[in-house]
Amino acid sequence: MEPTLPKIGLGTMGIEDPDTIARAIELGYHHLDTAQIYENEDVVGEGIARADVSREELTVATKVWADNLAPEDVRSSAEASLDRLGLDFVELLYVHRPIEAYDPGATLPEFDSLREDGLIEHVGLSNFSIDQLEEAREILAGPIAAHQVEMHPLYGQRELLEYARTARHTLVAYSPLAQGAVFELPEIREVAEERGVSEAEVSLAWLTAKDGVVTIPKASSEEHLEANLAGAGLELTAEERERIEGIEEERKLFE
């Protein structure tokens, strides 16, 4: 059974205060996304421990970085991640990028093994092409639960979204605010002004209105944490969504 991910989760890259994580959880962020390369799994784990929310209510995701993807390293690095998080298992473990030590036929069975042994509940992939997703599907014994990619109004990922719907996995959008670029887009600003909301809320509402898409904006202040959550409750009209879909500029932030 695939995980049911909340429409808005918390991207934790750069967060170094466990109290920020704990406060986010208590505000309603029950999908927490970290990674080995962020070097803050211990911070996320401490935040989980401090929060007055039961572990059963949370979906915790982390990612194995590219230099740990050799078959002999996957399990030991995943166990080290669990130790840093202070958890017996995570709901979702990603291949962070299919580069460096990644070898589909050797790497992916190790993820299956972690799932079979109960150290993870679901396997995710991140930053894959459609061809790489197809290859992974043929190798993995279990389903791909989620594919995490850069996705925002300047980079709509239409092909990967269509593929995700066909393959029946969730598309998890990172950098949904395009590192602040959405605040300068006329189409986003107009809708925000008309609605009396922030550009962030409009961008997140546009993403979360899409079937099969969830997103993980990063925020640290309580004001931004609350505003981002509000984005999931903002219902854009078809005309507003079309205006945003019609943005012609395309900008990819991460290679």
Give catalytic residue positions.
Answer: 38
Spatial distance between the Cα atoms of 205 and 235, rounded to a whole number of angstroms: 7
**DSSP-assigned beta bridge partners for residue 122:** 92
Phi, psi of 35, deg, nearest 5:
-165, 155
Report the SS3 class of residue 197: coil
Spatial distance between the Cα atoms of 36 and 77, rounded to a whole number of angstroms: 9
| Residue given tokens 């030991």 in the structure block | 76
| Residue given tokens 């589909």 in the structure block | 104
* 200 neighbors 179 (Cβ within 8 angstroms): no
* 96 neighbors 74 (Cβ within 8 angstroms): no
* 222 neighbors 231 (Cβ within 8 angstroms): no
**DSSP-assigned beta bridge partners for residue 95:** 64, 125
